[in-house]
Copies of this chain bind each other. A is one copy, B any other.
């Protein structure tokens, strides 16, 4: 079964400066807290090892995402583009923006699209000045993305911002309602607000849900899966959030979850491909 990993951060270029690589001890503690063992490729920061791990579980394609953040560390679109180019066909690129200036952000988006980026990410609570997903600063940007039919990956789950309020899906729901033709995927699945994001996705057919590692034996896991086996079968997107969890072990665990075979297929491949408009 061919698999797309919707959130993977390879041990290359700017990613190596992010906390998840620069502070390996912190990352491994996080991984172990989930009950998993760190990936050899993460510990050794080895791209060849990661490619082996991907191959071992048929992850044929990974989505890599730029980032603008003080806390987590930033990764430039240039670095992301360079990685995609270096490993042809292996990765798709999502562009980061700096929301501080709307004109500059829109220029960033247009430049990225011209370069082959397949989408844009917004990480409201992770920006140097944290904001909520419905911040006015972001509305011209959402409008631009909707008008150009560019999908957006919004990271509003887990440690999405300075505190728990940044993962509450209320603001995300407003955005999804105000831009009904904007395709939105929520990374980290707005965890821990599981019932709430499932409601949002039930109400808003433009919302895709990608809970990645926060599915792993965490509260809400059964609810995410019930939705993925029901109304969300076409909008649930598999991801690992590697290197925070080991890509190989997490994928092996995921594919054995009790989803109907046709839904599993969609969740690990087709939904991501449809969302991004790619066919890897």
Residues of A that sit less than 8 Å from B by CB? 33-35, 158-159, 162-165, 167-170, 173-174, 177, 191-196, 198-200, 202-203, 217-220, 223, 226-227, 230-231
Contact = CB atoms under 8 A, between A and B. Distances in A.
A196 B193 contact: yes
A231 B163 contact: no
B192 A219 contact: no
A194 B220 CA distance: 10
Nearest to A165: B170
Contacts of A193: 195-196
Copies in the complex: 3
A200 B192 CA distance: 9
Given A164-B169, A194-B219, 11 more contacts: A33-B231, A35-B230, A163-B170, A163-B174, A191-B199, A192-B198, A193-B196, A194-B195, A218-B226, A219-B227, A220-B223
Which of A35, A164, A227 has the most chain B CB atoms inside 10 A of its CB?
A: A164
A127 to B, nearest CB: 17
Nearest to A216: B230
10 contacts: A163-B170, A163-B174, A163-B177, A164-B169, A191-B195, A192-B195, A192-B198, A192-B199, A193-B195, A219-B227
A194 B193 CA distance: 10
B219 A195 contact: yes
Contacts of A200: 164
Nearest to A134: B163
Nearest to A196: B192
Given A163-B173, A193-B195, A219 B223 contact: yes
A202 B220 CA distance: 14
Contact of A226 (B34, B164, B217): B217
A231 B34 contact: yes
Contacts of A196: 164, 192-193
A203 B173 CA distance: 24
A165 B165 CA distance: 13
A4 to B, nearest CB: 25
Given A159-B203, A230-B35, A231-B35, A198 B173 contact: no
A196 B219 CA distance: 9
